[in-house]
């Protein structure tokens, strides 16, 4: 939305500074570790030092003798108490129609440990110090087994689980194989590429933490935890693990310091802690240290892919074949099965009219930490495949990479556009983003910049990524048919209080996204109530309706839309009350910017006056309930489809292989924008993470399954001085099916940027292949190989 | 962290006697390596002897053609010292490239040198400038100080009190930082003492060393182009996730060339 269209300085479209930042920046945030309860104990987990080992026995006697130790609880104790496995929330079927092969997944290892860092016992003590001392004295009797670590070799390696041959969870496929084969048979040109999508380790600023408490009087359990979706946590812990019935379990996710997907999942630790709190009948707190986070947070990406693109004589894409081996880790994490399938294969059309696409994905178990959704979740992997092979095709055919993309793009008149891989894009204007990006990067000036760089013994390269993203996974019916274990709607509730202030309850959880600001802007805009009078409440199953929480850039498109619909219900009811008060019919009352106005009159009532009347119903419609509140469950009709163009320019130091990102342009179409300041922040953060994947970050296990990049000394996160100033702009085609016309912006930065950066580096290197991350030594070796 | 006894002596003599009386003591200087190691339970001294209470161990003195840095002097004091910048600017530069601002505020020159971390920056200066490492009982030549990975000439309980740097005609330091830790993958310091060249290398091998092959070439011909023909053997070099021995050997040459260009361009 342009500046001119902004109606107020706090409404939709206004760059309001985040209200939550005041408490975060001044150290006044209320994170899980800030919360303490009387009589609280501290938990420390014993974790497997082996990637695969049979647990014969665990001797806890010495640990129990440590002063201050209250209990040592093992995985076997959880099994004995009848607790269930941690389930995977998406049932993927193999191409032969069979269900995926799920491994057993006890919350704590009971008989076998399957990755380094897997917990097998919980020590509970009066202090963290005592718990740590005791944890070192827990004596497991392990039989070490051969670990399966290498992803490519895993299907041919020793079988990890009984009954799961070739370590395959599934062999999934999507698209028309025969039609795609025929397209390749007729192709004028075929481009092939082999790619690795490197394993990433999330590293939210706040490590995972939880505080579990049991109230013997009421029989209620309360779990404070670092969750992106507390209701999902409650559902899984009650329905599957069976810690407590749903109505006796309350999950509170207070301030949470970042998630990037890694806090969607239901983990062993909070499961064990809430169960143990019930056993010892005292509150227990556990806070991960950074080393534990590296070992046990679900990792991201980790694919090996072979792809082929068929083109006709004119350079039109006629077919795309993709075969991917995806690492699922040792267990199927909560959504681990869906990420390399429904969130990946469905995105392989990209922005293009490729008529025939066929993708096969092998989901493979290895003795490594589970792999699940991480910012982008399948979509960065898909974009990396499409945008690298398209760039490669352009180079092989001697075509300008922008031109080749442009001639294959879906055009505005083609929408709604049904892809060969199951999605229906509702709207877009891909050339508009591409054109703006070319303008911002000064594409015409590239050759001159390249020549100048050469004078300094630097090779300059430019690379593109025109990405498509599917956000706000939907609709529920389709997702459930495809194997999702839950619906994909979101809840929202607006309560206008008697004094006219507003309490808003949203199922979306904010852990860095700024919902307290954005959602207040939306409600203020829709109800004409001052922004300052609106409070956004989230993250507590005791306060809000069942909800699905935050992932997949869905909060504004789904959770925000729920609030718009709730506001609509408020206005409808308000009109009836106002009409009664003004002695008119409701159909003759309009609502405009906080005022109920009687048509063709000078009579009006403010929403605050109407709210007061609703709670003090003296002069009030007979057939109407008192109060002015409304609840909604909003189930979107389709995904939203943000799209855009990212362009990276790099300079490579020929002598050292050091690559510097010198210029980065992102032009994104997120539909309407509620708060441009927050959107820019999301793009900055996402691009930084994407550049991290492309150039710096790599989760590496050695052949024995030991994590070699288990600290920030070896796992390289991007820092400010690794990045240039980004040049960011947006284009707008409003989403056609949600009331805000919004699409979602949380992941786009991480989706488009890796391909753009690697395309720029391979361009600088004269089309030498480079795998992510493009470390200086890899680049230097590529230069040496010339 | 395991439990330990904490001591804060007020003199070097007191620190030494505390050390002698304890079971398994360690000195604590800036603690930039020791504290994280203890927190990870990888080090478990019975007694920690904190050297921060010994005033004469902190400070900078420039006199007699030497720059003397007290062992407890934090890196930022050296990096920001007008005296060091005026007399031995390369040392201020080396100090300013260590870690991050927090590390430079706490970490000390004595701690860095005594630890002989293969990737620390200061050892390149000690070797490259031919400094003297002074302890409470003797003076050790920089050329003899570093023995191996985390091994030095220091005897158990011996305390570095100061380091004396001779002032060269000109000098320059180039560092190739590890992108994650920002330690030196390779760092090369070149110093010119009235036409005699010294080259100190850190990061590449198990400890800092003089690159005698490069020194020989440059003593004949102080020209970056002269380094093109030099072979830097990678035998015994470090090889890890971030850089192979072969790449480190290559970087020694490139960093040497760039340091020399800086040195010649003044």
B181 with A291: Cβ contact below 8 A:
no
Do B161 and B66 sit in the same domain of this protein?
A: yes
Do A650 and A627 sit in the same domain of this protein?
A: no
Domain boundary (A634, A652, A672) is at A634
A777 with B242: Cβ contact below 8 A:
yes
The SS3 assignment for A666 reads: strand
Asked if A762 contacts A769 with a C-beta cutoff of 8 angstroms, the reply is yes
A722 with B179: Cβ contact below 8 A:
yes
For residue A416, cis peptide bond before it (omega within 30 degrees of 0): yes
Do A563 and A605 sit in the same domain of this protein?
A: yes
CA separation for the pair A468, A427 (Å, rounded): 11
Q: Which residues in chain B are contacts of A717 at CB distance < 8 A?
A: 180
Compare CB distances from A777 to B40, B181, B243 and report the shortest one's residue: B243
CA atoms within 13 A on the CB side of A291: 13
| Residue A714 in contact with partner chain B when CB distance is under 8 A | yes
Compare CB distances from A780 to B181, B241, B247 and report the shortest one's residue: B247
Q: Which two tokens stand for residue A485?
A: 């274990």
| Residue A654 in contact with partner chain B when CB distance is under 8 A | no
In this structure, what CATH number is given to the domain that contains residue B190?
3.30.390.50
Instruction: Please check whether residue A610 lies inside any domain of the structure.
Output: yes
CA separation for the pair A608, A614 (Å, rounded): 10
Instruction: Please check whether residue A746 lies inside any domain of the structure.
Output: yes
The DSSP line for B20-50 is HHSSSEEEESS-TTHHHHHHTTS---SEEEE
Convert the pLDDT of each residue in B141-172 to its tens digit: 999 999 999 999 999 999 999 999 999 999 99
Instruction: Please check whether residue B237 lies inside any domain of the structure.
Output: yes
- Report the gap between the CA of A113 and the closest CA in chain B (Å): 23
Do A779 and A645 sit in the same domain of this protein?
A: yes
- DSSP 8-class letter at A5: G
Asked if B232 contacts B211 with a C-beta cutoff of 8 angstroms, the reply is yes
Residue A1: the pLDDT is 41
Q: Which two tokens stand for residue A91?
A: 């049932």
| Residue A700 in contact with partner chain B when CB distance is under 8 A | yes
Instruction: Please check whether residue A180 lies inside any domain of the structure.
Output: no
Q: Which of B194, B176, B184 is nearest to B259 (CA)?
A: B176
For residue A475, cis peptide bond before it (omega within 30 degrees of 0): yes
Compare CB distances from B254 to A136, A655, A722 and report the shortest one's residue: A655
Asked if B71 contacts B52 with a C-beta cutoff of 8 angstroms, the reply is no
- Report the gap between the CA of B244 and the closest CA in chain A (Å): 8
Q: What angle do CA B15, B18, B19 make, to 5 degrees?
A: 85
To test the contact with chain A by mutation, choose from B177, B228, B241, B254 the residue with the greatest count of A C-beta atoms within 10 A, namely B241
| Residue B182 in contact with partner chain A when CB distance is under 8 A | no
Domain boundary (A610, A634, A658) is at A634
Do A719 and A592 sit in the same domain of this protein?
A: no
| Residue A723 in contact with partner chain B when CB distance is under 8 A | no
Q: Which residues in chain A are contacts of B181 at CB distance < 8 A?
A: 712-714
Radius of gyration from C-alpha coordinates of chain B? 18
Convert the pLDDT of each residue in A310-331 to its tens digit: 999 999 999 999 999 999 999 9
Q: Which residues in chain A are contacts of B254 at CB distance < 8 A?
A: 655-656
| Nearest residue of B to residue A695, measured between CA atoms | B179
Q: Which two tokens stand for residue A552?
A: 């997949």
Q: Which residues contact B228 (CB under 8 A, 6 or more apart)?
A: none
Domain boundary (B117, B142, B166) is at B166
| Residue A777 in contact with partner chain B when CB distance is under 8 A | yes
CA separation for the pair A388, A770 (Å, rounded): 11
Do B197 and B244 sit in the same domain of this protein?
A: yes
| Residue B170 in contact with partner chain A when CB distance is under 8 A | no
A722 with B180: Cβ contact below 8 A:
no
B179 with A709: Cβ contact below 8 A:
no
| Residue B242 in contact with partner chain A when CB distance is under 8 A | yes
| Nearest residue of A to residue B175, measured between CA atoms | A656
CA separation for the pair B30, B15 (Å, rounded): 16
Instruction: Please check whether residue B55 lies inside any domain of the structure.
Output: no
The SS3 assignment for B175 reads: strand
Domain boundary (A605, A634, A663) is at A634
Compare CB distances from B181 to A132, A713, A775 and report the shortest one's residue: A713
- Report the gap between the CA of A731 and the closest CA in chain B (Å): 35
Q: Which residues in chain B are contacts of A777 at CB distance < 8 A?
A: 242-244, 247
Angle between the N-to-C axes of helices B245-265 and A776-784, in degrees from 0 to 180, rounded to the nearest 10? 90
| Residue A713 in contact with partner chain B when CB distance is under 8 A | yes
Do B226 and B183 sit in the same domain of this protein?
A: yes
CA separation for the pair A557, B95 (Å, rounded): 51
| Residue A780 in contact with partner chain B when CB distance is under 8 A | yes
* Percent of chain B surpassing pLDDT 70: 100
| Residue B254 in contact with partner chain A when CB distance is under 8 A | yes
Instruction: Please check whether residue B243 lies inside any domain of the structure.
Output: yes
**Domain ranges, residue A652:** 426-486+637-786
In degrees and rounded to multiples of 5, residue A741 shows phi and psi of 65, 25
CA separation for the pair B88, A622 (Å, rounded): 90
Name residue B28's beta-bridge partners. Answer: B50
Q: Give the number of domains in chain B.
A: 3
CA separation for the pair A668, A432 (Å, rounded): 10
Q: Alpha-carbon torsion A169, A175, A178, A182, what sign?
A: negative
Q: Which residues in chain B are contacts of A715 at CB distance < 8 A?
A: 180
The SS3 assignment for A525 reads: helix
| Residue A139 in contact with partner chain B when CB distance is under 8 A | no
Do B215 and B233 sit in the same domain of this protein?
A: yes
Compare CB distances from B179 to A136, A708, A716 and report the shortest one's residue: A716
| CA A45 distance to own-chain centroid | 27
Residue A4: the pLDDT is 44
B179 with A780: Cβ contact below 8 A:
no
CA separation for the pair A101, A178 (Å, rounded): 27
- DSSP 8-class letter at A356: -
| Residue A712 in contact with partner chain B when CB distance is under 8 A | yes
Task: Tell me the mean pLDDT in the region B25-34.
Answer: 97
Query: Is residue A625 packed enough to be buried (19+ CB in 10 Å), middle (13-18) or exposed (0-12)?
Result: exposed
| Residue B64 in contact with partner chain A when CB distance is under 8 A | no
Do B161 and B176 sit in the same domain of this protein?
A: no
Domain boundary (B139, B166, B193) is at B166
Interface of A with B in 278-337 (CB under 8 A): 291
Residue A619: the pLDDT is 87
**Whole-model pTM?**
0.97
Q: Which residues in chain A are contacts of B175 at CB distance < 8 A?
A: none
Asked if A646 contacts A464 with a C-beta cutoff of 8 angstroms, the reply is yes
Asked if A467 contacts A644 with a C-beta cutoff of 8 angstroms, the reply is yes
In this structure, what CATH number is given to the domain that contains residue A509?
3.30.365.10
Do A548 and A583 sit in the same domain of this protein?
A: yes
C-alpha to C-alpha distances, A100 to A172, A232, A338, A663, B9, nearest whole angstrom:
9, 22, 11, 44, 66
Do A592 and A510 sit in the same domain of this protein?
A: yes
Asked if A326 contacts A303 with a C-beta cutoff of 8 angstroms, the reply is yes
Asked if A415 contacts A170 with a C-beta cutoff of 8 angstroms, the reply is no
CA separation for the pair A241, A580 (Å, rounded): 52
Compare CB distances from B180 to A136, A712, A780 and report the shortest one's residue: A712
Asked if A570 contacts A496 with a C-beta cutoff of 8 angstroms, the reply is yes
Do B20 and B91 sit in the same domain of this protein?
A: no
Angle between the N-to-C axes of helices B245-265 and B212-220, in degrees from 0 to 180, rounded to the nearest 10? 30
Do A470 and A572 sit in the same domain of this protein?
A: no
Convert the pLDDT of each residue in B202-243 to its tens digit: 999 999 999 999 999 999 999 999 999 899 999 999 999 999
Do A650 and A585 sit in the same domain of this protein?
A: no
Q: Which of A124, A396, A60 is nearest to A279 (CA)?
A: A124
CA separation for the pair B192, B168 (Å, rounded): 6
Instruction: Please check whether residue B39 lies inside any domain of the structure.
Output: yes
CA separation for the pair A667, A758 (Å, rounded): 18
Name residue A535's beta-bridge partners. Answer: A503
Do A769 and A641 sit in the same domain of this protein?
A: yes
In this structure, what CATH number is given to the domain that contains residue B106?
3.30.465.10
Do A781 and A656 sit in the same domain of this protein?
A: yes
Q: Which residues in chain A are contacts of B260 at CB distance < 8 A?
A: none
Do B42 and B75 sit in the same domain of this protein?
A: no
Do A514 and A651 sit in the same domain of this protein?
A: no
**How many Cβ pairs within 8 Å bridge chains A and B?**
37
Asked if A331 contacts A363 with a C-beta cutoff of 8 angstroms, the reply is no
- Report the gap between the CA of A713 and the closest CA in chain B (Å): 4
CA separation for the pair A113, A52 (Å, rounded): 5
CA separation for the pair A170, A309 (Å, rounded): 25
**Which stretches of chain A drop beneath a pLDDT of 70?**
1-7, 786
Instruction: Please check whether residue A318 lies inside any domain of the structure.
Output: no
The SS3 assignment for A595 reads: strand
Q: Which of A208, A405, A390, A382 is nearest to A289 (CA)?
A: A208
In this structure, what CATH number is given to the domain that contains residue B19?
3.30.43.10
Name residue A765's beta-bridge partners. Answer: none
CA separation for the pair A128, A288 (Å, rounded): 11
In degrees and rounded to multiples of 5, residue A7 shows phi and psi of -85, -40
Q: Give the number of domains in chain A.
A: 2
Q: Where are the beta strands (DSSP E) in A186-248?
A: 189-200, 209-215, 220-225
Do B159 and B77 sit in the same domain of this protein?
A: yes
Do A454 and A562 sit in the same domain of this protein?
A: no
Do B14 and B72 sit in the same domain of this protein?
A: no
**Domain ranges, residue B77:** 60-166
| Nearest residue of B to residue A775, measured between CA atoms | B242
Asked if A708 contacts A369 with a C-beta cutoff of 8 angstroms, the reply is no
Q: What is the largest CA-CA distance in chain B?
A: 57
Do B41 and B82 sit in the same domain of this protein?
A: no
Instruction: Please check whether residue A64 lies inside any domain of the structure.
Output: no
B180 with A714: Cβ contact below 8 A:
yes
Task: Tell me the mean pLDDT in the region B64-75.
Answer: 97
To test the contact with chain B by mutation, choose from A713, A717, A722 the residue with the greatest count of B C-beta atoms within 10 A, namely A713
Name residue A633's beta-bridge partners. Answer: A491
| Nearest residue of A to residue B39, measured between CA atoms | A289
Q: Which residues in chain B are contacts of A781 at CB distance < 8 A?
A: 247
In degrees and rounded to multiples of 5, residue A29 shows phi and psi of -60, 160
Task: Tell me the mean pLDDT in the region B41-62.
Answer: 96
Instruction: Please check whether residue B23 lies inside any domain of the structure.
Output: yes
CA separation for the pair B7, A415 (Å, rounded): 75
Domain boundary (B151, B166, B181) is at B166
Residue A3: the pLDDT is 44
| Residue A67 in contact with partner chain B when CB distance is under 8 A | no
CA separation for the pair A325, A174 (Å, rounded): 14
């Amino acid at each position: 939305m342009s500046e001119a269209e902004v109606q107020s300085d706090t409404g939709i479209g206004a760059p309001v500074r985040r209200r939550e930042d005041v408490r975060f920046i001044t150290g006044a945030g209320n994170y899980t570790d800030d919360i303490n309860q009387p009589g609280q104990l501290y938990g420390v987990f014993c974790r497997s030092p082996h990637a695969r080992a049979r647990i014969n026995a665990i001797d806890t006697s010495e640990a129990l003798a440590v002063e201050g130790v209250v209990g040592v609880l093992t995985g076997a104790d959880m099994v004995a108490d009848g607790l269930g496995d941690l389930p995977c929330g998406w049932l993927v079927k193999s191409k032969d129609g069979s269900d995926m092969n799920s491994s057993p997944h006890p919350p704590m290892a009971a008989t076998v440990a399957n990755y380094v860092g897997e917990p097998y016992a919980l020590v509970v003590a009066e202090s963290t110090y005592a718990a740590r001392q005791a944890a070192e004295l827990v004596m497991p009797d392990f039989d070490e087994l051969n670990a399966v670590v290498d992803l490519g070799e895993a299907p041919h390696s020793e079988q990890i689980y009984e009954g799961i041959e070739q370590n395959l969870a599934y062999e999934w496929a999507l698209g028309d194989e025969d039609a795609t084969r025929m397209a390749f048979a007729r192709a004028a040109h075929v481009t092939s590429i082999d790619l690795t999508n490197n394993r990433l380790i999330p590293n939210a600023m706040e490590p995972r933490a939880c505080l579990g408490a049991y109230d013997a009087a009421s029989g209620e359990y309360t779990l404070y935890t670092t969750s992106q979706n507390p209701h999902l946590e409650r559902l899984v812990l009650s329905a599957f693990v069976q810690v407590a019935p749903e109505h006796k379990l309350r999950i509170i996710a207070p301030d949470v310091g970042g998630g990037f997907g890694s806090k969607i999942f239901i983990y062993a630790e909070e499961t064990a802690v809430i169960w143990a709190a019930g056993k010892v009948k005292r509150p227990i707190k556990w806070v991960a240290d950074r080393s534990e986070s590296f070992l046990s947070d679900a990792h991201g990406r980790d694919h090996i892919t072979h792809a082929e693109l068929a083109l006709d004589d004119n350079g039109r894409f006629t077919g795309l074949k993709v075969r991917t081996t995806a690492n699922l880790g040792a267990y199927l994490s909560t959504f681990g099965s869906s990420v390399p399938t429904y969130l990946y294969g469905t995105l392989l059309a990209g922005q293009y009219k490729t008529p025939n696409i066929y993708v096969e994905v092998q989901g493979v178990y290895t003795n490594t930490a589970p792999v699940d959704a991480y910012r982008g979740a399948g979509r960065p992997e898909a974009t990396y495949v499409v945008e690298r092979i398209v760039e490669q095709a352009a180079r092989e055919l001697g075509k300008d990479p922008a031109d080749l993309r442009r001639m294959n793009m879906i055009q505005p008149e083609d929408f709604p556009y049904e892809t060969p891989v199951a999605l229906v894009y509702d709207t877009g204007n891909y050339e508009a983003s591409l054109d703006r990006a070319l303008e911002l990067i000064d594409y015409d000036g590239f050759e001159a910049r390249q020549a100048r760089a050469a004078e300094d013994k630097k090779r300059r390269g430019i690379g593109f990524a025109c990405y498509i993203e599917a956000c706000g996974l939907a609709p529920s019916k389709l997702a459930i048919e495809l194997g999702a274990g839950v619906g994909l709607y979101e809840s929202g509730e607006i309560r206008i209080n008697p004094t006219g202030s507003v309490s808003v309850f949203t199922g979306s959880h904010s852990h860095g996204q700024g919902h307290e600001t954005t959602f207040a802007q939306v409600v203020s805009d829709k109800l004409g109530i001052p922004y300052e009078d609106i409070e956004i409440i989230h993250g507590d199953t005791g306060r809000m309706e069942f909800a699905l929480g935050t992932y997949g850039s869905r909060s504004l498109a789904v959770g925000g839309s729920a609030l718009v619909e709730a506001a609509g219900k408020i206005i409808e009811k308000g009109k009836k009350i106002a009409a009664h008060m003004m002695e008119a019919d409701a159909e003759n009352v309009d609502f405009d910017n906080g005022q109920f106005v009687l048509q063709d009159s000078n009579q009006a009532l403010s929403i605050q006056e109407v709210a007061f009347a609703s709670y003090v119903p003296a002069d009030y419609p007979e057939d109407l309930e008192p109060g002015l509140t409304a609840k909604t469950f909003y189930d979107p009709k389709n995904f939203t489809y943000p799209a855009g163009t990212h362009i990276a320019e790099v300079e490579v130091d020929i002598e050292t292989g050091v690559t510097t990102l010198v210029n980065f342009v992102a032009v994104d179409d997120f539909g309407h924008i509620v708060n441009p300041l927050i959107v820019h922040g999301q793009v900055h953060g996402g691009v930084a993470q994407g550049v991290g994947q492309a150039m710096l970050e790599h989760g590496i296990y050695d052949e024995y399954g030991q994590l070699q990049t288990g600290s920030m000394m070896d796992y390289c996160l991007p820092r400010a001085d690794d990045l240039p100033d980004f040049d960011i702009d947006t284009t707008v085609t409003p989403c056609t099916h949600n009331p805000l016309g919004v699409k979602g912006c949380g992941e786009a930065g991480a989706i488009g940027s890796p391909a753009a950066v690697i395309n720029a580096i391979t361009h600088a290197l004269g089309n030498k292949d480079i795998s992510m991350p493009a470390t200086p030594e890899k680049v230097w070796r590529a230069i040496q190989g010339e | 962290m395991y439990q330990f006894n904490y001591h804060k002596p007020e003199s070097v003599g007191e620190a030494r006697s505390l050390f002698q009386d304890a079971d398994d003591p360690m000195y604590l200087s800036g603690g930039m390596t020791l504290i994280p190691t203890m927190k990870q339970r990888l080090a478990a001294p019975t007694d920690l002897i904190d050297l921060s209470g010994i005033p004469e161990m902190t400070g900078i003195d420039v006199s007699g053609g030497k720059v003397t840095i007290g062992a407890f002097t934090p890196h930022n004091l050296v990096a920001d010292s007008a005296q060091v910048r005026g007399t031995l600017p390369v040392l201020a530069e080396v100090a300013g490239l260590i870690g991050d601002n927090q590390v430079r505020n706490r970490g000390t020159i004595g701690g860095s040198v005594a630890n002989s971390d293969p990737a620390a920056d200061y050892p390149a200066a000690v070797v490259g400038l031919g400094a003297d490492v002074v302890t409470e009982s003797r003076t050790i030549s920089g050329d003899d100080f570093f023995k191996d990975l985390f091994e030095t000439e220091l005897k158990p309980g011996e305390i570095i009190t100061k380091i004396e740097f001779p002032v060269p005609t000109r000098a320059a330091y180039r560092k190739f930082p590890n992108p994650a830790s920002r330690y030196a993958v390779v760092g090369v310091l070149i110093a010119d003492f009235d036409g005699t060249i010294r080259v100190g290398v850190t990061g590449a091998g198990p400890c800092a060393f003089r690159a005698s092959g490069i020194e020989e070439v440059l003593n004949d011909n102080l020209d970056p182009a002269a380094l093109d023909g030099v072979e830097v053997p990678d035998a015994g070099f470090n090889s890890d996730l971030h850089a192979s021995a072969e790449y480190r050997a290559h970087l020694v040459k490139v960093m040497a060339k760039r340091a020399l260009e800086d040195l010649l361009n003044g």
